[in-house]
Structure 1
């Protein structure tokens, strides 16, 4: 272990933006940080391996799939590791980092970002970082395409000669940058080639130590070209600091903890990016909590009550002016409040078209993802069904939590009991998201929608994207050929322990030193035209592909927005709206405005009451004996196909 701790404090930390300056002041070099690591005893290591065996052998829903797709056997590897630990003593056990490396590699072998070994103290909650961000784009030539790597963000106060946004990286610690990315990609999980490669780029400068071992190198040497094309080099130390805290906890017993679908790495990296490169978001969050106006809004940006979750703005393209709504995460405690803020923001954006951008969204609360779909379509939403793997331990958990108000697992019990007789690998499939909640609000945005994705979309965001495509809401525009392909609900070791806390024969034991684990517990299946297809490892293939350009990286996604604008312009808007209601003599009168609709159906308190053909964009409908009705819904059709809907509460 290194003892090189004499490196000076970097100038950029003292020059950091005010909202994060005190936080970053606690940063230390990687070498200094590592002096606090390495305290696990041999018995503690044995407990970790024992619990990893329980989760992977008896809870892990994707084990048969991963063994087949990647020819791996993580359970046997853990058994072998456990056997070696039995033969070791406190005097001859290897260094702790080698233990962490082996357990991490076993978990990473299944290429599942839901299924993680989470390192103990002092690693948990820390982020290792360099003060700049590297991203890639595709440069088109004469029938060729080459991947190039640019600096896109730098921390405030970090200004080496000729180094900043737009700087091209050529080598990484002496390795050609493309090769360095390949080497990094091979070390990090990802369910497809593009997912692994994009994480290889990301890991160049940001490493969540909760999930990954610290970098082996204490510093990196970056070779780059300045604005004049002059070759330069930069040597920069890795720094370690506490990350910003997560938005929600995922280990407690309850609906929120049991309904998580989140890539913890992307969630950690997203918070680190805010800390290092978007301190205005920290200031905006503090303003929201203090009831003050949001500072630092950009031109055309709309203030939000959830600045760490949403960013809404108008974007003008050659095809017109549209709304652009970025969803950074679905990690919220209250999915209903999430949908309410989403509806409020889209209501303030242009109704001619919406660019819904979920790039780099690692997921979160599955309810929040699937509840949101209804606001964009007149069609009824069918939430994705999920399955447990049929094991005695999973059956035991489900039996103990039948009709549990916090986490009701009763639906899965009969098929898991039957699996013992018929040898079924999985339970029957039932949705996690309640179907009533997924359809309680109805359509709230009637314009065309383009959904922008990339290979870092994962988990609940995979589920959201699959639902968007399966319900034919709009066009999926991908900057990669797949989403991240994380098709599962994930539970932590803490949650599993809590589910059997009152069972004296529980196999779950407390983990030492704040170590933890997560496991994909229920796999998700698609609906609609691809009904029954698993999301895991396949992800969602976009309808259209746009490769990121230099302008995208350096000019606010300029070419990407132009491409989205072209798609929106080519889509026909359809809308219906109840503009006025009145009661006369016990009858209810509705005035309705429509766009590109040829038939209107009217429902009062969910019952059909009228249907009429339209010659223009207006309708005046009188429904007898409906003055006391609670709700009215109008549905618009074109050539017999439902294309728009609006529900209004009348009292």
Structure 2
């Protein structure tokens, strides 16, 4: 696959010009343009000032550093540092490069240590006898902890745990789309590995390299390229879960279900409901996998998940003579939402009749449509509850959205009061836009912030499983669940990616793809967070009622057995007494 570079355009500069770097003035102009774009559109800007003391608009010190960068890659790196200062897990500044380097094994943090969690079939294990569960002490003389510190800005999350886990992943996998200097490595890496016994060994492991790295871009104006195509990865994260998928009996092939066609108006409305992780994170971390992070509980019987068209994984298992339902919602961006809602409705109908309690797993869920998440919750909450509300910084795009909602409500099947409410929303947004002010909380999925149950509802006890990669709509779903007092949440604090996002192609001198958070999701009431009580999800996430982590070495080497046992213990605590 060719790298999208200006050098490859027909009629590009000659070789001598192509070797040049951007000028200091061009870099300053590009940085200023990018900063102004975020200042105008980034809704959480004031929140970031309050929480972290970082002001997007204060670019004077940054421009001094921009002008001091010695080459294009240093400039790329500085832009990433600037945006990482927002501590927003939605934001990614990705380069149009397909270059990747991989040591053919993956790392993550278990029990506070950087352990090997996956070894590619292509890895030369006969030459380098490493095993899953071994600790990587250092790479090229730099400790794993120091690598995590250095690499954190390239995978900045909304909470420290998610940031550190992304950074650990980058120790052995270096995509230049995320890390500008990824190609500045040798042919091998000196890796010190510590066995569980404490014995250490050093191996010179070769880097597998893919595609051509970016060195610089021509410092002249010229034709603009479209956004970079989704890159092909040198590794396949789905391989990490192959054994567990077989144990569950899941479909692991392609999913051919086509996407639903949308009218231009429907597409505009759908874009304002997008709350999902960046595609790069989905690919790099393995988010949105149908396969759970653990093996099935004893006696599990699969219902959904064995067919390519199944939009969920579901089934039942016994606990103390009672039948427990289990559903994994692995994405809030289904290939076909109508099919997904139909399948969910059918599952809830049958599980309501045949089970005593229900476990729902949204771990490693990258999000999707906030309103689709709300629709699923309407099958689980038997009383009216707080819906999806956004706090927004009005832009022309938001004006157009609210106008479209008001116009679409003009039909005869819409009540007069609803038309009047939607028109009033448009008037408020328009007035705030003209004054350069922010708005209060607006309902996004309907004309009201109150959501109502479906005609089919699960009314028995429910446990919801989360982790730090339950993000965006994967944050919103647990937040609404908790606001409605629907049941226990067990797991790890969710990622804290609390808003609606959109992607843009940066049209400055540099070629890069941008993502921006355009709203803030507001909860019904304030909850404790690491920075104090707040009703926002951004950076706060959703705190579980029961702490339950799968990130231990014992879980890693046993397919999550301690985690499953702890989950079953929590189920026992919510089961109704038998007559």
CA distance in 1, matches of 2:350, 2:171: 38
The counterpart of 1:177, out of the listed 144, 161, 165, is: 144
In the other structure, the counterpart of 1:570 is: 573
In the other structure, the counterpart of 1:18 is: none
Higher mean C-alpha displacement, 161-170 vs 306-315? 306-315
CA distance in 1, matches of 2:310, 2:113: 30
* 1:62-104 deviation digits (Å, cap 9, x = unpaired): 111112322223333289649967xx9xxxx942212211221
CA offset at residue 337 of structure 1?
2.8
CA distance in 2, matches of 1:370, 1:331: 12
In the other structure, the counterpart of 1:519 is: 516
Query: For residues 543 and 227 of structure 1, do their structure 2 counterparts lie closer, same or farther at Cα, with a shift above 3 Å needed?
Result: closer
CA offset at residue 398 of structure 1?
5.8
In the other structure, the counterpart of 2:97 is: 122
CA distance in 1, matches of 2:325, 2:30: 48
CA distance in 2, matches of 1:227, 1:333: 43
CA distance in 1, matches of 2:451, 2:29: 41
Map 1:37-56 onto structure 2 (within 5 A): 48-49=30-31, 51-56=33-38
Query: Is the Cα contact below 8 Å between 1:375 and 1:444 reproduced in 2?
Result: yes
The counterpart of 1:257, out of the listed 271, 276, 290, is: 271
TM-score (norm 2): 0.70
CA distance in 1, matches of 2:30, 2:122: 42
Query: Is the Cα contact below 8 Å between 2:151 and 2:167 reproduced in 1?
Result: yes
CA distance in 2, matches of 1:326, 1:539: 20
CA offset at residue 523 of structure 1?
0.8
Higher strand share: 1
Query: For residues 53 and 178 of structure 1, do their structure 2 counterparts lie closer, same or farther at Cα, with a shift above 3 Å needed?
Result: closer
* 1:151-200 deviation digits (Å, cap 9, x = unpaired): 22222242524323222333333333344334433553122322322323
In the other structure, the counterpart of 1:493 is: 504
Query: For residues 370 and 109 of structure 1, do their structure 2 counterparts lie closer, same or farther at Cα, with a shift above 3 Å needed?
Result: same
CA distance in 2, matches of 1:100, 1:412: 40
CA distance in 1, matches of 2:83, 2:361: 30
CA distance in 2, matches of 1:319, 1:178: 47
Query: For residues 543 and 388 of structure 1, do their structure 2 counterparts lie closer, same or farther at Cα, with a shift above 3 Å needed?
Result: same
In the other structure, the counterpart of 1:613 is: none
Higher mean C-alpha displacement, 532-541 vs 129-138? 129-138
Does 1:451 pair with 2:427?
no
Query: For residues 312 and 214 of structure 1, do their structure 2 counterparts lie closer, same or farther at Cα, with a shift above 3 Å needed?
Result: farther
* 1:555-614 deviation digits (Å, cap 9, x = unpaired): 22212222221222221459xxxxxxxxxxxxxxxxxxxx99xxxxxxxxxxxxxxxxxx
Give structure 2 stretches of 5+ with no counterpart: 4-17, 211-230, 237-253, 293-298, 410-418, 528-532
Query: Is the Cα contact below 8 Å between 1:378 and 1:442 reproduced in 2?
Result: no
In the other structure, the counterpart of 2:232 is: 242
Does 1:441 pair with 2:414?
no
In the other structure, the counterpart of 1:340 is: 342
CA distance in 2, matches of 1:514, 1:345: 46
* 1:508-534 deviation digits (Å, cap 9, x = unpaired): x85678632121111110026769811
Query: Is the Cα contact below 8 Å between 2:89 and 2:497 reproduced in 1?
Result: yes
Query: Is the Cα contact below 8 Å between 1:59 and 1:521 reproduced in 2?
Result: yes
Does 1:462 pair with 2:475?
yes
SS state of the match for residue 72, structure 1? coil
Aligned residues: 487
CA distance in 2, matches of 1:271, 1:512: 32
TM-score (norm 1): 0.63
In the other structure, the counterpart of 1:96 is: 72
In the other structure, the counterpart of 2:542 is: 540
The counterpart of 1:328, out of the listed 330, 354, 357, is: 330
Query: For residues 51 and 132 of structure 1, do their structure 2 counterparts lie closer, same or farther at Cα, with a shift above 3 Å needed?
Result: same
The counterpart of 1:373, out of the listed 373, 377, 384, is: 377
CA offset at residue 418 of structure 1?
4.8
Map 1:408-447 onto structure 2 (within 5 A): 412-419=425-432, 425-434=437-446, 439=452, 441-447=454-460
Query: Is the Cα contact below 8 Å between 1:260 and 1:489 reproduced in 2?
Result: yes
Query: For residues 112 and 529 of structure 1, do their structure 2 counterparts lie closer, same or farther at Cα, with a shift above 3 Å needed?
Result: closer
Does 1:561 pair with 2:571?
no
CA distance in 2, matches of 1:47, 1:493: 18
CA distance in 2, matches of 1:308, 1:129: 33
In the other structure, the counterpart of 1:153 is: 118
Query: Which is higher, the Rg of structure 1 or of structure 2?
Result: 1
CA distance in 2, matches of 1:179, 1:57: 32
CA distance in 2, matches of 1:187, 1:376: 37
CA offset at residue 410 of structure 1?
5.8
Using CA pairs under 8 Å that are at least 6 residues apart, name the structure with larger relative contact order, 1 or 2.
Answer: 2
* 1:26-47 deviation digits (Å, cap 9, x = unpaired): 899xxxxxxxx99986698677
The counterpart of 2:360, out of the listed 356, 363, 385, is: 356
Higher mean C-alpha displacement, 194-203 vs 526-535? 526-535
CA offset at residue 367 of structure 1?
1.9
Query: Is the Cα contact below 8 Å between 2:360 and 2:465 reproduced in 1?
Result: yes
Give structure 1 stretches of 5+ with no counterpart: 1-25, 29-36, 139-146, 282-297, 495-508, 575-594, 597-651
Does 1:74 pair with 2:38?
no
Query: Is the Cα contact below 8 Å between 1:376 and 1:445 reproduced in 2?
Result: yes
